[in-house]
Amino acid sequence: MIFNVSNSEMVLKEIKKLKPLNYNRFFWWRRFTTYNQPLPNKFSFLDKIKNGDFDPSHYLWQAKYSELEINEKAIECNNDHQMLLEKYSVIFTRRKKLWEDYEKDEKIKLEEIKKNFINEFEMVGEDYENEVIEFGGTLEDFYIYIRKTYDTRLSPLKRRGRPKKIKN
């Protein structure tokens, strides 16, 4: 065994929840996607949380699934690592790219969550950082806690760009 996948049953259960993708030569390493599509920006932040837009990325389960495959191939190769690398280098590359996608996707989601909390409630980045470190629970529970603790913004933060047209 090369990679320590602690709970292979859970990985397989999560993979079954994903939708298989057809082969794409530009993203060949991705084999699954979620059935649940993210909501457009016109929906509220709480609706997006309930929809699962900020749930952990599905790339995590794909990367762990590729690690399970590598472990199976290692058993076939009698733990000869050189032969494993020569025969199955594609799976190693897939694993590497999926972990990169996972890290990038999680970073984007965390930044989006922070931005939405700061835009929706009367808090600054420092307040958000302190609260999120101390809180333990789900994102929806955190949203409810922040809604009780902080006031909501009456007007959104000033944005750059062209001002709205004044209608006469």
Q: Which two tokens stand for residue 105?
A: 């996707």
**In the chain, what are the domain boundaries?**
8-149
Quote the CA–CA distance of 120 and 115 in Å, as a whole number: 9
Within 13 A of 147's CA, how many CA atoms are on the CB side?
9
Q: Are 54 and 48 in contact (CB under 8 A)?
A: yes
pLDDT at 112 over 70: yes
- pLDDT, residue 109, reads 94
Q: Provide long-range contacts, Cβ within 8 A and 24+ apart, for 24-30.
A: 28/94, 29/93, 29/94, 29/97, 29/98, 29/101, 30/59, 30/62, 30/98, 30/101
- pLDDT, residue 79, reads 72
Q: Are 142 and 134 in contact (CB under 8 A)?
A: no
Phi, psi values for residue 11, rounded to 5° = -60, -45
Q: What is the pLDDT of residues 130-157, one digit of tens each?
A: 999 998 889 999 999 999 988 887 666 6
Q: Which two tokens stand for residue 93?
A: 């590359």
Quote the CA–CA distance of 54 and 106 in Å, as a whole number: 9
Q: Which two tokens stand for residue 55?
A: 């749930």
Tell me which of 12-21, 83-92, 139-148 is least confident.
83-92
β-strands 19-20, 32-33: how paired? antiparallel
The segment with the largest mean pLDDT, out of 4-8, 13-17, 82-86, 157-161, is 13-17
Q: What is the pLDDT of residues 61-86, one digit of tens each?
A: 999 999 888 888 888 887 777 887 88
| DSSP letter (8 states) at residue 42 | T
